[in-house]
Structure 1
Amino acid sequence: MGNIKCEKYYLHKYDTLEELKNAVDEYIQFFNYHLYQEKLNGLSPLEYRAKTA
């Protein structure tokens, strides 16, 4: 949770709550589908969950 606050909330100014919600949704999509992590054997979180299920 700390990463999203640092990368989206503290570094940007949002004029509306809707803009903030959209930014959070975009970050969650990025994190789950496109952020490949070394600790997950180079897979994204969703790829890792699918492979281990």
Structure 2
Amino acid sequence: IHSDRGSHYRWPGWLDRINGSGLIRSMSRKGCSSDNAACEGFFGRVKNEMYYGRNWAGTSLEDFMCFLDRYIRWYNEKRIKISLGAMSPVKYREHLGVTT
């Protein structure tokens, strides 16, 4: 689990959950955001493209998690990226011959 040095990093309840799950904590160096840039960019995109602008009132946690799962699958497999030659990530991997 990666943290951005937030106050939760040392909160006993958080520590219990991390330890109980068998996870290992990691943390950015102070003033070094570049190691977290890809995650920050992705979560910003999720909020802008999926979360904001929708009315989530009445949406159950299960429904929200299903919606988020569908978005992430679309993001990882089908979205068109100019940097990949205007192909989706899956099509780009197929083009390179590196699909499984």
TM over 0.5: yes
The code of the aligned residue for 1:23 comes to F
Q: Please identify the structure whose Cα radius of gyration is greater.
A: 2
Structure with more relative contact order (C-alpha pairs < 8 Å, separation 6 or more): 1
Match of 1:7 in 2: 49
Normalization by structure 2: what TM-score?
0.43
Alignment of 1:1-53 (within 5 A): 1=42, 2-12=44-54, 13=56, 15-50=59-94, 51=96, 53=98
Structure 1 spans left out of the alignment, 5+ residues: none
2-side partners of 1:6 and 1:18: how far apart? 21
**1:22 Cα deviation (Å)?**
1.0
Per-residue CA deviation, residues 16-52 of structure 1 (Å, 9 max, x unaligned), is: 1111111111112222332111110111112223426
Q: Report the number of matched residues.
A: 53
Structure 2 spans left out of the alignment, 5+ residues: 1-41
Q: Superposition RMSD on alpha carbons, in Å?
A: 2.0
